[in-house]
Amino acid sequence: MFALFEHPHFGPMLFDTGYSYRFFEETRSFPNLMYRWLTPVTLLEEQLAVNQLAAFHLDPSDITHIFISHFHADHIAALADFDKARYVYLPQAYDAVRTRRGIGALSQAFLPGLIPDDFEARSVPVDIDRPYALPPEYAPFTKGYDLLGDSSLLAVELPGHAAGQMGIFARCTGDGRDQAFFFVADAAWLGRSIKDDLPPHALADLFFTDPTAYKITLSNLHKIQVAQPDLKIIPSHCAETLATIATR
Ligand SMILES: [Zn+2]
Protein backbone atom coordinates (compact mmCIF):
# COMPACT_ATOMS: atom_id res chain seq x y z
CA MET A 1 0.00 0.00 0.00
CA PHE A 2 0.99 3.56 -0.53
CA ALA A 3 -1.02 6.67 0.32
CA LEU A 4 -1.67 9.99 -1.39
CA PHE A 5 -1.90 13.13 0.74
CA GLU A 6 -3.30 16.24 -0.88
CA HIS A 7 -2.20 19.33 0.99
CA PRO A 8 -3.63 22.78 0.17
CA HIS A 9 -0.19 24.40 0.27
CA PHE A 10 2.35 21.62 -0.39
CA GLY A 11 0.35 19.81 -3.05
CA PRO A 12 0.16 16.07 -3.62
CA MET A 13 2.53 13.90 -1.61
CA LEU A 14 3.02 10.17 -1.11
CA PHE A 15 3.55 7.92 1.86
CA ASP A 16 5.74 5.16 0.37
CA THR A 17 5.42 4.09 -3.26
CA GLY A 18 4.58 0.39 -3.38
CA TYR A 19 6.15 -1.91 -5.95
CA SER A 20 7.30 -1.16 -9.47
CA TYR A 21 8.65 -3.40 -12.22
CA ARG A 22 12.09 -2.31 -11.06
CA PHE A 23 11.71 -4.89 -8.28
CA PHE A 24 11.79 -7.65 -10.89
CA GLU A 25 14.83 -6.18 -12.62
CA GLU A 26 16.68 -5.93 -9.32
CA THR A 27 15.87 -9.50 -8.29
CA ARG A 28 16.77 -11.18 -11.59
CA SER A 29 19.94 -12.86 -10.33
CA PHE A 30 21.59 -14.09 -7.13
CA PRO A 31 21.66 -13.15 -4.35
CA ASN A 32 18.66 -10.84 -4.84
CA LEU A 33 16.70 -13.57 -6.59
CA MET A 34 16.16 -15.08 -3.14
CA TYR A 35 14.11 -11.99 -2.21
CA ARG A 36 11.67 -12.83 -5.00
CA TRP A 37 11.49 -16.43 -3.85
CA LEU A 38 10.75 -15.45 -0.25
CA THR A 39 8.09 -12.88 -1.14
CA PRO A 40 6.61 -13.82 -4.51
CA VAL A 41 5.14 -10.76 -6.20
CA THR A 42 2.54 -10.33 -8.89
CA LEU A 43 2.14 -6.79 -10.10
CA LEU A 44 -0.52 -5.47 -12.44
CA GLU A 45 -0.16 -2.30 -14.53
CA GLU A 46 -3.09 -0.69 -12.76
CA GLN A 47 -1.45 -1.23 -9.36
CA LEU A 48 1.58 0.90 -10.16
CA ALA A 49 1.60 4.16 -8.22
CA VAL A 50 1.98 6.23 -11.38
CA ASN A 51 -1.10 4.61 -12.91
CA GLN A 52 -3.21 4.91 -9.77
CA LEU A 53 -2.31 8.60 -9.56
CA ALA A 54 -3.52 9.10 -13.11
CA ALA A 55 -7.01 8.30 -11.85
CA PHE A 56 -6.65 11.39 -9.65
CA HIS A 57 -5.45 13.38 -12.69
CA LEU A 58 -1.97 13.57 -11.23
CA ASP A 59 1.26 13.32 -13.13
CA PRO A 60 4.30 11.72 -11.40
CA SER A 61 6.06 15.11 -11.55
CA ASP A 62 3.20 16.65 -9.53
CA ILE A 63 4.30 14.75 -6.43
CA THR A 64 6.21 17.18 -4.22
CA HIS A 65 7.29 14.89 -1.35
CA ILE A 66 7.56 11.18 -0.68
CA PHE A 67 7.57 10.18 2.97
CA ILE A 68 9.45 6.89 3.24
CA SER A 69 8.35 4.70 6.14
CA HIS A 70 11.37 2.39 5.81
CA PHE A 71 13.62 1.06 3.09
CA HIS A 72 12.18 -2.41 2.46
CA ALA A 73 11.83 -2.95 -1.26
CA ASP A 74 8.03 -3.09 -1.32
CA HIS A 75 7.88 0.44 0.10
CA ILE A 76 10.46 2.17 -2.09
CA ALA A 77 10.44 0.34 -5.44
CA ALA A 78 8.87 3.24 -7.33
CA LEU A 79 10.93 6.11 -5.86
CA ALA A 80 12.60 6.77 -9.21
CA ASP A 81 9.24 7.33 -10.93
CA PHE A 82 8.83 10.70 -9.23
CA ASP A 83 11.45 13.03 -10.66
CA LYS A 84 10.51 16.18 -8.74
CA ALA A 85 9.75 14.73 -5.32
CA ARG A 86 11.71 15.43 -2.17
CA TYR A 87 12.43 12.29 -0.16
CA VAL A 88 11.66 12.51 3.55
CA TYR A 89 12.61 9.80 6.06
CA LEU A 90 14.14 9.30 9.48
CA PRO A 91 17.93 9.50 9.03
CA GLN A 92 18.54 6.35 11.06
CA ALA A 93 16.43 4.38 8.55
CA TYR A 94 18.69 5.31 5.63
CA ASP A 95 21.89 5.09 7.67
CA ALA A 96 21.08 1.45 8.45
CA VAL A 97 21.08 0.47 4.76
CA ARG A 98 22.95 3.18 2.84
CA THR A 99 26.27 1.38 2.42
CA ARG A 100 24.93 -2.18 2.30
CA ARG A 101 25.38 -4.26 -0.82
CA GLY A 102 24.91 -7.92 -1.80
CA ILE A 103 23.93 -10.29 1.00
CA GLY A 104 24.34 -7.52 3.58
CA ALA A 105 21.66 -5.47 1.81
CA LEU A 106 19.46 -8.47 1.15
CA SER A 107 19.50 -9.38 4.83
CA GLN A 108 17.81 -6.01 5.43
CA ALA A 109 15.30 -6.55 2.59
CA PHE A 110 17.07 -3.65 0.86
CA LEU A 111 17.75 -3.52 -2.87
CA PRO A 112 20.25 -0.69 -3.50
CA GLY A 113 19.29 -0.51 -7.18
CA LEU A 114 15.88 0.86 -6.19
CA ILE A 115 17.50 4.04 -4.86
CA PRO A 116 17.53 6.75 -7.56
CA ASP A 117 20.94 8.20 -8.52
CA ASP A 118 19.99 11.64 -7.22
CA PHE A 119 18.35 10.31 -4.06
CA GLU A 120 20.62 12.07 -1.59
CA ALA A 121 20.52 15.34 -3.53
CA ARG A 122 16.71 15.29 -3.32
CA SER A 123 16.56 14.05 0.27
CA VAL A 124 15.31 16.11 3.17
CA PRO A 125 15.76 13.78 6.14
CA VAL A 126 13.60 14.50 9.17
CA ASP A 127 15.44 16.80 11.57
CA ILE A 128 15.45 14.55 14.63
CA ASP A 129 17.06 17.32 16.67
CA ARG A 130 13.79 19.23 16.46
CA PRO A 131 11.19 16.92 18.02
CA TYR A 132 7.57 17.96 18.35
CA ALA A 133 5.81 17.35 21.68
CA LEU A 134 2.67 15.44 20.81
CA PRO A 135 -0.52 16.56 22.57
CA PRO A 136 -1.93 14.18 25.24
CA GLU A 137 -4.45 12.60 22.86
CA TYR A 138 -1.54 10.92 21.06
CA ALA A 139 -0.54 8.97 24.20
CA PRO A 140 1.30 6.68 24.61
CA PHE A 141 3.15 8.41 21.75
CA THR A 142 4.77 11.55 23.15
CA LYS A 143 7.47 12.55 20.66
CA GLY A 144 6.85 13.29 17.02
CA TYR A 145 8.18 15.37 14.15
CA ASP A 146 6.11 18.06 12.46
CA LEU A 147 6.85 17.19 8.83
CA LEU A 148 5.38 20.27 7.17
CA GLY A 149 5.46 22.77 10.03
CA ASP A 150 1.68 23.06 10.25
CA SER A 151 1.04 19.91 12.35
CA SER A 152 -1.01 18.36 9.53
CA LEU A 153 1.44 15.45 9.19
CA LEU A 154 3.14 14.27 12.36
CA ALA A 155 5.77 11.56 12.09
CA VAL A 156 6.56 9.15 14.90
CA GLU A 157 9.18 6.47 15.31
CA LEU A 158 7.80 2.93 15.16
CA PRO A 159 10.83 0.81 16.03
CA GLY A 160 11.10 -2.96 15.76
CA HIS A 161 10.19 -4.02 12.24
CA ALA A 162 12.99 -2.14 10.50
CA ALA A 163 15.56 0.39 11.64
CA GLY A 164 14.11 3.88 11.84
CA GLN A 165 10.63 2.95 10.69
CA MET A 166 8.41 6.05 10.52
CA GLY A 167 4.65 6.24 10.92
CA ILE A 168 2.53 9.30 10.15
CA PHE A 169 -0.49 10.80 11.84
CA ALA A 170 -2.50 12.62 9.18
CA ARG A 171 -5.50 14.78 9.87
CA CYS A 172 -7.99 15.25 7.09
CA THR A 173 -10.16 18.35 7.42
CA GLY A 174 -12.43 20.39 5.20
CA ASP A 175 -15.64 19.50 3.34
CA GLY A 176 -17.21 18.94 6.76
CA ARG A 177 -14.73 16.17 7.51
CA ASP A 178 -12.42 15.83 10.45
CA GLN A 179 -10.87 12.40 10.24
CA ALA A 180 -7.58 11.27 11.74
CA PHE A 181 -5.48 8.55 10.16
CA PHE A 182 -2.39 6.83 11.46
CA PHE A 183 -0.27 5.20 8.75
CA VAL A 184 1.86 2.63 10.57
CA ALA A 185 3.58 0.86 7.64
CA ASP A 186 4.74 -2.58 8.84
CA ALA A 187 4.54 -1.97 12.59
CA ALA A 188 1.74 -4.53 12.31
CA TRP A 189 0.78 -6.63 9.32
CA LEU A 190 -2.85 -6.94 10.33
CA GLY A 191 -5.27 -4.48 11.87
CA ARG A 192 -6.48 -7.34 14.02
CA SER A 193 -3.04 -7.68 15.63
CA ILE A 194 -3.37 -4.08 16.84
CA LYS A 195 -6.93 -4.57 18.03
CA ASP A 196 -5.96 -7.66 20.04
CA ASP A 197 -2.39 -6.59 20.87
CA LEU A 198 -1.32 -9.90 19.42
CA PRO A 199 2.18 -10.17 17.90
CA PRO A 200 2.66 -12.56 14.97
CA HIS A 201 4.13 -16.05 15.43
CA ALA A 202 7.59 -16.09 17.02
CA LEU A 203 9.05 -17.20 13.69
CA ALA A 204 8.29 -13.71 12.36
CA ASP A 205 10.88 -12.38 14.83
CA LEU A 206 13.46 -13.52 12.29
CA PHE A 207 12.32 -10.70 10.02
CA PHE A 208 12.41 -7.94 12.62
CA THR A 209 15.45 -5.86 13.46
CA ASP A 210 14.34 -5.70 17.10
CA PRO A 211 11.57 -8.13 18.16
CA THR A 212 11.32 -6.63 21.66
CA ALA A 213 10.84 -3.12 20.28
CA TYR A 214 8.34 -4.53 17.78
CA LYS A 215 6.13 -5.81 20.61
CA ILE A 216 6.34 -2.50 22.50
CA THR A 217 5.38 -0.60 19.35
CA LEU A 218 2.46 -2.97 18.73
CA SER A 219 1.30 -2.54 22.30
CA ASN A 220 1.47 1.27 21.93
CA LEU A 221 -0.64 1.05 18.77
CA HIS A 222 -3.15 -1.05 20.68
CA LYS A 223 -3.29 1.54 23.49
CA ILE A 224 -3.93 4.49 21.21
CA GLN A 225 -6.58 2.54 19.32
CA VAL A 226 -8.38 1.74 22.59
CA ALA A 227 -8.15 5.40 23.66
CA GLN A 228 -9.23 6.67 20.23
CA PRO A 229 -11.59 4.19 18.58
CA ASP A 230 -12.25 6.61 15.70
CA LEU A 231 -8.58 6.88 14.75
CA LYS A 232 -8.08 4.91 11.55
CA ILE A 233 -4.85 2.99 11.99
CA ILE A 234 -3.64 1.70 8.64
CA PRO A 235 -1.01 -1.06 8.39
CA SER A 236 0.35 -1.15 4.85
CA HIS A 237 -0.32 -4.84 4.24
CA CYS A 238 -3.74 -5.30 5.83
CA ALA A 239 -6.34 -5.88 3.09
CA GLU A 240 -9.12 -5.98 5.68
CA THR A 241 -8.24 -2.48 6.94
CA LEU A 242 -7.85 -1.09 3.43
CA ALA A 243 -11.29 -2.39 2.49
CA THR A 244 -12.80 -0.22 5.24
CA ILE A 245 -11.14 2.99 4.03
CA ALA A 246 -12.98 5.16 1.55
CA THR A 247 -10.65 5.99 -1.32
CA ARG A 248 -11.69 9.60 -1.54
ZN1 LIG B 1 8.80 -3.83 5.85
Condensed to tens digits (0 to 9), the pLDDT of residues 20-71 reads 999 999 999 898 888 888 888 889 999 999 999 999 999 999 999 999 999 9
Q: Helices (H), strands (E): how many in the chain?
A: 9, 10
Dist. CA 105 → ligand 1 center (Å): 14
Cα of 236 to ligand 1 centre, how many Å? 9
Mean pLDDT across the chain = 93
Mean pLDDT, range 190-201, rounded to an integer = 90
What is the per-residue pLDDT across 216-247, written as a single tens digit (0 to 9) for each?
Answer: 999 999 999 999 999 999 999 999 998 887 65
Q: What is the mean pLDDT of residues 179-185?
A: 95
C-alpha torsion sign, points 32, 34, 38, 42: positive
pLDDT of residue 93: 98
Which residues are placed with Cβ below 5 angstroms of ligand 1, an ion? 72, 186
pTM for the model: 0.95
Q: Answer whether 64's CB lies under 8 Å from 11's CB.
A: yes
| Average of per-residue pLDDT across 133-155 | 97
What is the distance in A from the centroid of ligand 1 to the CA of 161? 7
CB atoms within 10 A of CB 167: 26
| Residues of the chain above pLDDT 90, percent | 79
CA 180–ligand 1 middle distance (angstroms): 23
Q: What is the pLDDT of residue 193?
A: 94
Distance between Cα 209 and ligand 1 center (Å): 10
**Distance from residue 67's CA to the centre of ligand 1 (Å):** 14
Q: How far is the CA of 96 from the centre of ligand 1 (A)?
A: 14
DSSP state of 29: S
Question: At a CB cut-off of 8 Å and minimum separation 6, what does 199 contact?
Answer: 193, 214, 215, 218
**pLDDT for res 201:** 79
Average pLDDT value for residue range 177-183: 90
Asked whether the predicted pLDDT for residue 181 surpasses 50, the reply is yes
pLDDT digit string, tens, across residues 76-121: 999 999 999 999 999 999 999 999 999 999 988 999 999 999 999 9
Tell me how far apart the alpha carbons of residues 168 and 214 are, in angstroms, rounded to a whole number: 17
